[in-house]
Amino acid sequence: MKHSTLLLISILISLAVASCSPEKSPPMPASHAAASSMKNAANTDYRTQMPYGSAPRNPDLGLPSNFSKSSGVTFSRVSVPGPYVALTFDDGPHASNTPRLLDILRARNVKATFYVIGKNVDLYPNIVRRTVAEGHELGNHTYTHPKLSALGQDRVFSEIRKCDDAIMRAAGVRPRTLRPPYGALTQAQRVSIHSTFGYPTIMWAVDPLDWKRPGVSVVTSRIVSATSNGSIILVHDLHASSVDAMPATIDALLRKGYKFVTVSQLLAMGGSASASINPQPSALAQSQVGE
């Protein structure tokens, strides 16, 4: 009887302990876990260790960025009195690639211009705040990345305003320039946007076609060989391979004597627009947002 009583007490204690133990949650699907980790990294802990301590550095320039609205409607390059170029990045912010790119730029004291998509700004506002805090410029790349040349004026203006508002919510600043997705904007639209918003349309003089993912060394080679004084360089920070190409690209241009400025600084320095370079139709048809 005593043995039975002890056995019963032991069983009851075991059941009580089990009922107090925390219930295990079902495992999160791998895709959801990756997305959760990526977003947390983007919005809370985006300052990663910089492995580029020995990189060449862009000089501290302290150049003005107030350009005249009358200087032009469309720019792909600017006539400048020296080896100044503007490095621009489209389609971000990206959860992991943009913070990594910011580390690369910070290690080299390079200031760039980021043409951000409004819906991505709403997803990753802390990345946008960091971008501004580290001295970079933000440009308007619309809210949803549509082909503006196929839209009516009301929808075009809505896309621009929604992107402006997203940037203001995230970082408390408003952009001063616009880059149309795919470069697709009619001359009449450019004039209308310039008149209404004061934004010049910023195209590009150097396009490595990095959205086709030709390889890191190819992206670097194309940019370095095509860059000249006053160039506006187009890259996409949503592609990991494009960000991978930036250390060698920037270092090579710095060693050639180029100095990096923001688009607004380039415009303020020169003030005269050259003929814009429109993307080829194949690029307009094939270029995509997202990985």
Q: pLDDT below 70 — which residues of the chain?
A: 1-54, 271-291
Query: Does 145 participate in catalysis according to the annotation?
Result: no
Query: Does 154 participate in catalysis according to the annotation?
Result: no
The 10 Å CB-count burial string (b at 16+, else e) for 113-150 is bbbbbbebbbbbbbbbebbbeeebbbbbbbbebbbbbe
Give the predicted TM-score (pTM) of the model.
Answer: 0.78
Q: Are 173 and 157 in contact (CB under 8 A)?
A: no
- Position 62 scores a pLDDT of 83
- Position 51 scores a pLDDT of 45
Does the domain at 75-285 match CATH 3.20.20.70? Answer given as: no
> Rounded to 5 degrees, what are φ and ψ at 36?
-65, -45
- Position 24 scores a pLDDT of 39
Among 94, 136, 236, 239, which one carries the catalytic annotation? 236
- Domain-by-domain residue ranges, the chain? 75-285
